[in-house]
Amino acid sequence: MDLQLKGRVAVITGGSLGIGRATAEAFAAEGAHVAIVSRTQAQLDTAAEEIRQAYDVNVLPVAADVSDTEQVTAMMDQVAAHFGRLDILVNGAAHPGGLVRSEIELADPEGLLQDINIKVVGYMRCAKAAARHMRAGGYGRIVNIGGLTGRGSKQLSGMRNAAICHMTKTLSDQLGPHGITVNVIHPGVVETPHIRELYEKEAAKQGLTVDEVEANYVRVTPIRRTLTPAEIADTILFLASPRASAITGESLAVDGGITRGIFL
């Protein structure tokens, strides 16, 4: 299937590592031009050069902090000026797993505020700044990366993912008339550098080994394995393509079946 992404311009926040990096590579493989965004310029520069060499597309590395409105606006303007257009936004910049994973007695309110500012308000900042350029081009795709804790109550930081679902639906109503779709995906347990950190924290908390923690996740996943970043990227690419023009305001788990809820 031709996803019709050649020549499109995609902005990916959190684009230098993990799911963001895999998504940037997947867009590049389809012939799309990519802007990757994070707070660390050196890391971005390395990733950008590797993607350019592998796929022969234009890759723009832009350092920006999504908790700063002025930086986000300037970043989106820079991308649009550099490429002459801006078609796709993948919102992925966030603290992996969230900052507040403890019981209420130990929970840090400031950590929760930081989680919400970066992931919820940060996504909104990026969507607001990108939508202006998308409207001008008559085409836009926004894909928000949420998390399964938005569908459960395991961690207080999960409320940020529930909020992203609400924002996704609201923005799909507001931006749909301008040819812009907005969707959210919830990755399951994905093999990224950050998942190892999560395993270690859970192992210490539960009195298990890291391997035992991983094995427990695999055991409750119907496909009996963890996911790869490339598998998440494949779903993002479809939602970002003209092929998905009738899908908007949706919340989709890409989790190997680990979600037990029924969503109608």
Assess if residue 260 is contained within a domain.
Answer: no
CB 7 within 8 A of CB 87: no
Q: Kindly report, residue by residue over 17-63, the tens digit of the pLDDT.
A: 999 999 999 999 999 999 999 999 999 999 999 999 999 999 999 99
- Percent of the chain exceeding pLDDT 70 equals 100
- Tell me: do 47 and 145 sit in the same domain: yes
Quote the pLDDT of residue 150: 87
- Tell me: do 179 and 241 sit in the same domain: yes
- Tell me: do 123 and 218 sit in the same domain: no
Q: Kindly report, residue by residue over 51-96, the tens digit of the pLDDT.
A: 999 999 999 999 999 999 999 999 999 999 999 999 999 999 998 8
pLDDT over threshold 80, residue 158: yes
- Tell me: do 178 and 245 sit in the same domain: yes
CB 93 within 8 A of CB 23: no
The two structure tokens encoding residue 103? 């019981």
Quote the pLDDT of residue 195: 86
Assess if residue 264 is contained within a domain.
Answer: no
- Tell me: do 128 and 169 sit in the same domain: yes
Assess if residue 144 is contained within a domain.
Answer: yes
What's the structural domain count of the chain? 2
Quote the pLDDT of residue 95: 87
Quote the pLDDT of residue 197: 82
Quote the pLDDT of residue 193: 81
For position 117, which CATH number holds?
Answer: 3.40.50.720
pTM: 0.95
Helical (H) or strand (E) element with 71:
helix 69-83
Tell me the three-class secondary structure of 138-190, residue by residue: CCEEEEEECCHHHHCCCCHHHHHHHHHHHHHHHHHHHHHHHCEEEEEEEECCE
The two structure tokens encoding residue 139? 């085409």
Q: Kindly report, residue by residue over 202-228, the tens digit of the pLDDT.
A: 888 899 999 999 999 999 999 999 999
Average pLDDT over residues 125-129: 98
- Tell me: do 35 and 104 sit in the same domain: yes
- Tell me: do 51 and 160 sit in the same domain: yes
pLDDT over threshold 90, residue 155: no
Q: Domain span at residue 201?
A: 192-226
CB 160 within 8 A of CB 98: yes
pLDDT averaged over the chain? 94
Quote the pLDDT of residue 151: 87
- Tell me: do 130 and 159 sit in the same domain: yes
Give the separation between CA 149 and CA 162, rounded to whole angstroms: 8
